[in-house]
Structure 1
């Protein structure tokens, strides 16, 4: 699915940019161009960034019951 229509950037490319170290919309834009046009995709990029960098709710649970 295309996230950035201006530069035809799919969600897979945005996820790849984040996996390679992008930590902001600007970082994603520098890496693949997404978010550097009209800006309507910024909210979607933010969701991908938050999901990738937010601590997991499961991280604090014990490994065994």
Structure 2
């Protein structure tokens, strides 16, 4: 699925940019141009960033009972 239509950037590329260390919408744009055109995808990019950097709700649970 394309996240940025202006530059035909798919979600897999957004995820790859984040995996390589992008932590802001601007850093994603610098890495792959997503969000640097019309700007309509900025909210979608931010969702990918939040999901990647938000702590998991199960992270603090014990590994075994």
Shorter-chain TM-score category? over 0.9
Q: TM-score, normalised by structure 2?
A: 0.97
Supply the distance in 1 between the matched residues of 2:15 and 2:63 (Cα, whole angstroms).
28
Runs of 4+ in 1 over 3 A off after TM superposition: none
> In the alignment, what sits opposite 1:32?
32
Shift of 1:64: 1.2
Supply the distance in 2 between the matched residues of 1:58 and 1:19 (Cα, whole angstroms).
21
Long gaps (5+) in structure 2:
none
> In the alignment, what sits opposite 1:14?
14
Long gaps (5+) in structure 1:
none
Say which SS state the counterpart of residue 12 (structure 1) adopts: helix
Please provide the CA RMSD for this pair.
Answer: 0.5
How many residues are matched? Answer: 65
Say which SS state the counterpart of residue 38 (structure 2) adopts: coil
Supply the distance in 2 between the matched residues of 1:29 and 1:23 (Cα, whole angstroms).
11
